[in-house]
């Protein structure tokens, strides 16, 4: 097949959508398909173009056999509703206007969020005369409403109308959780039109720790410590002040340290909060390259996976769950719903109430005092994720679906 994939994010960006898209596309190339990814210049999340790139009108590159087309986009940091909206819309129009410069394809896929990238797939697929698969990784506009990023009812109503339009016009919809499928079905979309292909893990990158993490631990000041780590976006959806409040509660336990690695709209506020609370047991590092992440997982004793308390977030499964399991790290999960059920089935960690700093502190302390339990939970998680969520297998399932949609 000749596959055209529209994605706002792509490596060297390191967020979950970039990883999912790249790992699927890389496997499709290995399986003999021709894949083109249309994206923008890498700049997430700070809104600064990565070294070695320029925000040009159009540029081509090759990553592991994937033909990557990067288009000019209004670049801005991942914060502030208006500027981000301009960023999203500018990429949508750039993707549509790039169609005359792209060869023929058998199928078009677009992924959401961001929402307008997903919607661009409709126009591009019609211009290229291909079937269109819409991939939904977050429910928009529900997710941005849930964190208070939009309150204007007129704007919300317009986005909901566009959302329903996209669902109806797509030839097929791929979602990443069972709950998403249920939610979209409730909007009047037939279940036969929706396929669940969950997130997973690249088992070639995330594996049992085989290197001694002591040098990295010494470098960042956590050598010999029990390290409770949060890896990923520091955004409005994550309520990471819970981590700082838990760290404050455990400040007398000198062998316990909290590590936060990543960037996002809330990072500066969290840094200020850390300083004002005088938290010497918290280390905060900026975003790291994807290839470095297994090393940070290796020095971690336990993984923290947290979201705000919201009905919407009961439908999501953060991709960090799969990475943590693959690295044999026990999980403390502050997410309700489908994520909690997955963790229960895997027997790979413990659950707490979202935003509950006391419960988080209690569970960190409990696992610190029970190293055998940590080892057991980590071992369970690795076995479960490799049996059920290997990205290679999931990519092949996606390719089989594309073959069916193309018929």
Q: pLDDT for 46-60, tens place per residue?
A: 889 999 999 999 999
Per the DSSP assignment, residues forming a β-bridge with 70 are 39, 59
Distance (Å, whole) CA 5 – CA 281: 43
- pLDDT above 70: percentage of residues in the chain: 96
Give the SS3 label for residue 113.
coil
Amino acid 158: pLDDT: 84
Q: Order the strands of the 349-351 sheet from edge to edge.
A: 282-285, 256-261, 226-231, 302-306, 331-334, 349-351
Distance (Å, whole) CA 156 – CA 168: 18
Q: Is the pLDDT of residue 155 over 90?
A: no
Distance (Å, whole) CA 383 – CA 290: 23
Average pLDDT, integer, range 188-212: 84
Amino acid 203: pLDDT: 82
- pLDDT above 90: percentage of residues in the chain: 79
C-beta separation of 299 from 217 below 8 A: yes
Nearby residues of 133 by Cβ (< 8 Å), 6 or more positions away? 107, 108, 109, 110, 121, 170, 171, 172, 173, 174, 401, 402, 405
- Helical pair 371-388 and 338-346, crossing angle rounded to 10 deg: 110
CA 68 to chain centre: 20
C-beta separation of 259 from 228 below 8 A: yes
Q: pLDDT for 312-364, tens place per residue?
A: 899 999 999 999 999 999 999 999 999 999 999 999 999 999 999 999 999 99
DSSP tag of 233 = -
Q: Order the strands of the 34-40 sheet from edge to edge.
A: 58-63, 66-71, 34-40, 2-6, 107-112, 132-136, 172-175, 194-196
Cis peptide before 113 (omega within 30 of 0): yes
Q: pLDDT for 97-138, tens place per residue?
A: 999 999 999 999 999 888 899 999 999 999 999 999 999 998
Q: pLDDT for 8-56, tens place per residue?
A: 999 999 888 999 999 999 999 999 999 999 999 999 888 899 999 999 9
Nearby residues of 90 by Cβ (< 8 Å), 6 or more positions away? 72, 73, 74
Give the SS3 label for residue 67.
strand
C-beta separation of 322 from 383 below 8 A: no
Nearby residues of 176 by Cβ (< 8 Å), 6 or more positions away? 136, 137, 196, 197, 198, 199, 317
CA trace torsion 154, 160, 163, 164 (10° rounding): -120
Amino acid 104: pLDDT: 94
Distance (Å, whole) CA 194 – CA 405: 12
Write b or e for each residue in 19-42: b if 16 or more Cβ atoms lie within 10 A of its Cβ, otherwise e. bbbbbbbbbbbeeebbbbbbbbbb
Higher pLDDT, 274 or 263: 274
Q: Is the pLDDT of residue 145 over 70?
A: no
Considering only CA atoms, give the Rg of the chain.
21
DSSP tag of 381 = H
Confidence of residue 197 (pLDDT cuts 50, 70, 90): very high
Lowest-confidence range among 79-88, 178-187, 273-282?
79-88
Q: Is the pLDDT of residue 94 over 90?
A: yes
Amino acid 264: pLDDT: 86
Nearby residues of 273 by Cβ (< 8 Å), 6 or more positions away? 241, 244
| All domains in the chain, ordered by first residue | 2-200+390-406 (3.40.50.2000), 214-388 (3.40.50.2000)
Q: Is the pLDDT of residue 79 over 80?
A: no
Higher pLDDT, 407 or 254: 254
DSSP one-letter string for 240-258: THHHHHHHHHTTT-TTEEE
Amino acid 290: pLDDT: 83
Give the global pTM. Answer: 0.87
Amino acid 45: pLDDT: 83
């Amino acid at each position: 097949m000749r596959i055209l994939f529209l994605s706002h994010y792509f490596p060297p960006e390191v967020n979950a959508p970039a990883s999912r898209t790249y790992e699927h596309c890389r496997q499709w190339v290995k399986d003999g398909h021709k894949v083109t990814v249309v994206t923008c210049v890498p700049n997430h999340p700070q809104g600064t173009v990565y070294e070695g790139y320029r925000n040009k009108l159009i540029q081509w590159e090759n990553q592991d056999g994937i033909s990557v087309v990067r288009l000019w986009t209004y670049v801005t940091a991942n914060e502030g509703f208006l500027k981000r909206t301009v960023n999203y819309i500018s990429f949508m129009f750039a993707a549509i206007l790039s169609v005359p410069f792209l060869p023929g394809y058998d199928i078009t896929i677009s992924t959401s969020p961001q929402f307008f990238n997903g919607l661009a797939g409709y126009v591009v697929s019609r211009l290229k005369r291909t079937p269109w698969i819409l991939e939904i990784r977050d429910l928009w506009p529900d997710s941005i409403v849930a964190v208070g990023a939009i309150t204007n009812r007129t704007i919300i109503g317009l986005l909901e109308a566009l959302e329903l339009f996209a669902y109806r016009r797509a030839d097929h919809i791929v979602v990443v959780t069972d709950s998403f499928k249920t939610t979209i079905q409730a909007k009047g979309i037939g279940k036969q039109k929706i396929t669940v292909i969950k997130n997973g893990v690249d088992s070639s990158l995330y594996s049992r720790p085989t290197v001694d993490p002591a040098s990295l631990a010494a470098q960042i000041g956590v050598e010999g410590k029990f390290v409770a780590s949060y890896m990923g976006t520091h955004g409005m959806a994550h309520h990471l002040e819970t981590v700082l409040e838990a760290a404050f509660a455990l400040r007398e336990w000198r062998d316990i340290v909290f590590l936060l690695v990543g960037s996002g709209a809330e990072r500066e506020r969290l840094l200020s909060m850390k300083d004002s609370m005088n938290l010497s047991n918290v280390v905060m590092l900026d975003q790291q390259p994807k290839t470095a992440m297994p090393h940070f997982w290796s020095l971690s004793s336990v993984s923290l996976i947290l979201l705000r308390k919201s009905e919407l977030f009961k439908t999501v499964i953060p991709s960090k769950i799969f990475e943590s399991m693959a690295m044999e790290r026990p999980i403390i999960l502050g997410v309700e719903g489908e994520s909690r059920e997955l963790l229960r089935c895997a027997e790979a960690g413990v659950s707490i109430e979202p935003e509950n700093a006391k419960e988080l502190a209690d569970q960190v302390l409990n696992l610190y005092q029970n190293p055998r339990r940590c080892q057991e939970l980590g071992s369970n998680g690795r076995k479960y994720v490799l049996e059920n969520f290997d990205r290679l297998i999931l990519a092949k399932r996606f390719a089989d679906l594309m073959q069916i949609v193309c018929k």
